[in-house]
Amino acid sequence: MTSTSEKPIISQEVDFATSTPAAPRALWSLTSGDQRFASRGIRQRYNNRRVRQPFVRLTPIDSAGDIAIVEIISLPSSREQLLASRLTHALEACKLSESWPVFVATRVGHSEIVDLAVEALANAQQYAASRYVGSPNRSLMPYTNALTKLRCDLNCPEKIHQDDTVITVALLALVEHLLSPISPPFRSHLHGLYALLAHRPPSHPDHESDVIRAIFYDHWTFAFLKPCVQGTASPFDRDDWCRMQPVAMDVLQPAVITLRRIANELFIRFPRLIAHIRDARQRDPPELKYDAVTLAAKLVGLKDAEAENELLHQVELERTSWAVDQEIIPVSFRFLRVAQYEAAIYYWQAQLFLARICKRANELVPEDEALPVDEDEMRRMCKNIFMSFQYTLGAGMPGISAVQMAVVACWGSLIDFPKLFEPKFNAETLRSWIVESINAMTQGWFVLTS
């Protein structure tokens, strides 16, 4: 092994297709023992400049970093493999390895528009990882090309309901989220995704492709928030969407499937219930009150204590690391998988929203007809969400997405039931703590104020 005159760049992906000749020569000089690997990569540069792009890691073996060995991580043999490798790398960097984009890797190379969106996502991740240094124009060119192709496909009736169109819009929304999570284009893509999914023809739940089911489960909030604002039932309030099972690349535990499906159905049904309660308050016909209370009573039955207990028995406990939190939450949950975390936190927040809605429904009926609202259960679920905050820190984008609505559920519970945690903690103390905790977790993605 010999030392080079210049320090090598550590842990950098070396692009043989675009690097200057000086870069391969520098690799040559790093180690004589592995010259055959480096020379093979250089020959492939000339054999196929645009396809073969080895992913290389340079590992220093001295403290100064002057001497390093070459490790070829992977050597894609086609453009499709290269694109799939870049997608996998981007998802791992964003901690999305258990989210819906993992299903896209099998579609790379089969659709031009999906390939463009995947390339845009990989470039956006690299640009975001560089802390937005430099001009994004060149790296985001595939994004512009994907948008152009998408506009053409949206004007084609036979393509508007195809999976590739939905996948492309979801990928472009993810690109915008990486660049600016509160940008107007990001919201526009979400509205477009909402419209495409809402207008898909009814089908048997098992007939939807895995990627569409995964996209819907990862974007469940638009099945809830937009109809609530509009005061209407959700367009997804159909049996096919409500009975649709969650999906993952590997096998999901039965408890995870059960809790995710229950939370999914509740958030789909909530907008109709909220609209009924609003109508019953503004107008006074007895049938409106009956409809509201009947639907609320039906949703109260959507729970599964056995599945929740089964999941919690698989979750480990650890001491809360933040000193400021230890007074309120001495121990925290450590989930084994992101899927467990999402199933639990979505289920708890759905049950909290349901309890708050039932409180408002009870104002429409006599006390002897009131729906049960268990404050002890609400306190337990709020505490469980608080105990999940520490895990959220390391869960990346899925963690932030899951915790946003959970915070709203806990915050609203403290407003509707101000004595929920008394006498140990008053509501104001907990709300201030929530603000500090969430702002620390999101690290600037959004800022919560009191």
If phi > 0 it is left, if psi is from -120 to 50 it is alpha, else beta; for residue 15 that is beta
pLDDT, residue 11, reads 33
Half-sphere exposure of 15 (CA within 13 A, CB side): 8
**Long-range Cβ contacts of 88-94 (<8 Å, 24+ apart):** 89/13, 89/55, 89/122, 89/125, 90/121, 90/122, 90/125, 90/126, 93/125, 93/129, 94/125, 94/178, 94/396, 94/397
* Distance, CA of 407 to chain centre: 16
pLDDT in tens, the chain (450 residues): 444 443 333 333 333 333 333 332 222 223 333 333 333 333 333 333 344 444 445 455 544 545 555 554 555 557 888 888 899 999 998 889 889 999 998 889 889 999 999 999 999 888 888 765 556 666 678 899 999 999 998 888 888 888 999 999 999 999 998 887 777 888 899 999 999 999 888 776 667 889 999 999 999 887 888 899 888 999 999 988 998 999 988 889 999 999 999 999 999 999 999 999 998 888 777 778 888 899 999 999 999 999 999 999 999 999 998 777 888 899 999 999 999 999 999 999 999 999 999 999 998 888 888 898 999 999 999 999 999 999 988 888 888 888 888 999 999 999 999 999 988 888 888 988 888 887 777 665 555 555
Mention every residue, 6+ apart, whose C-beta is less than 8 A from residue 231.
274, 275, 278
Which of these, 363, 368, 339, 347, lies nearest to 416 by C-alpha position? 363
Which of these, 65, 70, 72, lies nearest to 4 by C-alpha position? 65
pLDDT, residue 132, reads 56
Alpha carbon distance 385, 406 (integer Å): 7
Q: How far apart are the first and last CA of the chain?
A: 60
Tokens at residue 4, please? Answer: 């080079």
Tokens at residue 73, please? Answer: 């991580």
pLDDT, residue 159, reads 85
pLDDT, residue 4, reads 42
DSSP class of residue 321 equals -
Q: How open is the CA angle 147-152-157, to the nearest 5 degrees? A: 130
Mention every residue, 6+ apart, whose C-beta is less than 8 A from residue 383.
329
Tokens 């499906």 found at: 261
pLDDT, residue 204, reads 63
Please, what is the angle between helix 375-387 and helix 396-416, to 10°? 150
SS3 label, residue 318: strand
Residue-wise DSSP of 87-153 = HHHHHHHTT-TTSGGGGGGGGTTT-HHHHHHHHHHHHHHHHHHTTT-S-STTTTHHHHHHHHHHHHH
Neighbour tally for 419: CB within 10 Å: 10
Q: How open is the CA angle 156-101-182, to the nearest 5 degrees? A: 80
pLDDT, residue 236, reads 93
Alpha carbon distance 132, 264 (integer Å): 36
* 334 φ/ψ angles, rounded to the nearest 5 degrees: -125, 100
Mention every residue, 6+ apart, whose C-beta is less than 8 A from residue 86.
118, 119, 122
- Predicted TM-score (pTM) of this structure: 0.79
Alpha carbon distance 340, 281 (integer Å): 39
Tokens at residue 327, please? Answer: 């007074």
* 333 φ/ψ angles, rounded to the nearest 5 degrees: -80, 145
pLDDT, residue 160, reads 84
